[in-house]
Structures are given as C-alpha cells and as structure tokens.
Structure 1
C-alpha cells in the first residue's frame, strides 16, 4: 500500500494580501450592488489570514 501524498499549499502567504487588494478594488467598483456583500465578507475573511 502506498502512502497518500502530502497536500501542498495552493497560495503563498503573500498571495492573500494581493487577493485582498484586488477584492477591495472590486468592492469600490461594484458599489452598492447586491453581490458587494459577499465580496465584503470575503475581504474581511482574507484579513484574518494575512
């Protein structure tokens, strides 16, 4: 029987800050549209990672 392969991180730590910056930019573009709430929540969750 073979050992299961170890999982590797998909994103580097610095990637989360880049993604968070991109989400913030998008939030400014969408303004008060309904989907903005989901992106605002994502922005705050990413802040907990960084």
Structure 2
C-alpha cells in the first residue's frame, strides 16, 4: 500500500494564512491545511 506524502511548514515571523496564500499562488495540485502554528501540505494524494 502506497501512502501519500506531506510536509509541515512553519516560517518564523509569518502567519500560517500568509504562508498558505504564498504556497497556493506558486504551487498547483497540492492540498493545503492551515493550523495555528504551521501549514500542512499534501504533495501526493493518499492512496485510499
């Protein structure tokens, strides 16, 4: 069974919402989750 790949990103001094907007403008085909302290990005879809 293949699992999806994901990354959690946090940038000091930048809000998660601002970071998510930058990611959404520059990277297509990813799912973005915004959390209080970081942004979660699914770079490959999980295999159901």
TM above 0.5: no
TM-score (norm 1): 0.33
Structure with higher strand content: 2
Greater RCO, CA 8 A, separation 6+: 2
